[in-house]
Amino acid sequence: MVLLVFAGIAFAAMPVGDTTIVDAHTILTGLFKNVGNIKTLTYTMVYNERLDGGKSHVDSSYVKLQRVPHRIFMKMSDGAEVLWAEGVNNGNAWVHPNSFPYVTLELDPDGMVMRKNQHHGIENAGFDYFASVLKQAADKVGKNFDSHFLYLGEMTFSGIKCYKLVVIDPDFKYTSYLVTKGETIYSIAKKLSVSEYMIMQHNDLSSYTDISAGQTIMVPSDYGKEMTLYIDETSMLPLLLRVDDEKGLFEQFIFRNLKVNPAIAAAEFSKEYKDYHF
């Protein structure tokens, strides 16, 4: 989810005389490099996602992640726990709902039960997904990079010095797309580097598989009309990511207590781990 416009460019602020040049190119290069250096992550994510009818879904979750092999543990604000590990349990996630009947379920991470009122599946936790969205956006605009990727200066967010970066698509719109054999909303969204939830919502579809070959659907021209990022100057990772579409706020994610490459025992990605309730 792409030809890297910035491949081979090492991140560094570039001094000229007494002035340090920081621009969108160097910031994005640093972000891509540091995302690629992640082995493990822990953080608390506060998110706000617009659902059908314009209602906002605001919640938070604690996330523990290992990139390779890909493993994710998530604890929701209501105490529900989710564990997913690449190549394990036939691709299903273990879910303990922390409510009646208090039994552990095995669910498809992309099924409608787990994806109800969720823009993203558990596999998109971390930063790889949005890094790929940004890479695709940079590749798409090519030589017009500087008119679409805007560095708006330094700022402080939650007491942390950040770079503010805005990605704009002034021509954001929906265009027709002819579904071919074997395609799903997931595969189309991945190919175009757009939001599968946005596709489903805009076409009034009942599920992510509710399409068939020969059908024409409307797809967004980009991931959003505007994306705003607050990027930690030290870790070069986003602390806030906001996406707006033609209606306004589509989704926003705030990352708190972010720890990069902490030691996480392999047992912590097992459903038998002593602190879990699966």
CB-based contact 189:161 (threshold 8 Å): no
Segment 207-252, tens digit of pLDDT: 888 899 999 999 999 999 999 999 999 999 999 999 999 999 999 9
- The residues, ordered by sequence, that sit 6+ positions from 43 with a Cβ below 8 Å of its Cβ are 62, 63, 255, 256, 257, 258, 259
User: How many residues belong to the chain?
Assistant: 278
Tokens of 257: 């207590």
What local confidence, expressed as pLDDT, does residue 116 receive? 87
What local confidence, expressed as pLDDT, does residue 206 receive? 85
User: Which residues in the chain show pLDDT less than 50?
Assistant: 1-19
Counting Cα atoms < 13 Å in the Cβ hemisphere of 217 gives 26
CB-based contact 243:130 (threshold 8 Å): no
Measured between alpha carbons, how far is 95 from 125 in angstroms, rounded to an integer?
A: 16
What domains sit in the chain, N to C, each tagged with a CATH number? Answer: 38-127+253-278 (no CATH), 174-220 (3.10.350.10)
Segment 62-87, tens digit of pLDDT: 999 999 999 999 999 999 999 999 99
Coil, strand or helix: which one is 30?
helix
Other C-beta atoms lying within 10 Å of the C-beta of residue 161: 12
Candidates 254, 256, 258, 250; CA nearest to 241 is 254
- The residues, ordered by sequence, that sit 6+ positions from 254 with a Cβ below 8 Å of its Cβ are 45, 46, 47, 239, 240
E strands in the chain: 14-16, 19-21, 40-50, 56-66, 71-76, 81-85, 93-96, 105-107, 149-157, 160-168, 174-178, 216-220, 226-232, 238-245, 248-260
Q: pTM for the full model?
A: 0.90
What local confidence, expressed as pLDDT, does residue 7 receive? 34
In this structure, which amino acid lies at residue 260? V
Measured between alpha carbons, how far is 135 from 102 in angstroms, rounded to an integer?
A: 42
What local confidence, expressed as pLDDT, does residue 20 receive? 58
Measured between alpha carbons, how far is 82 from 257 in angstroms, rounded to an integer?
A: 20
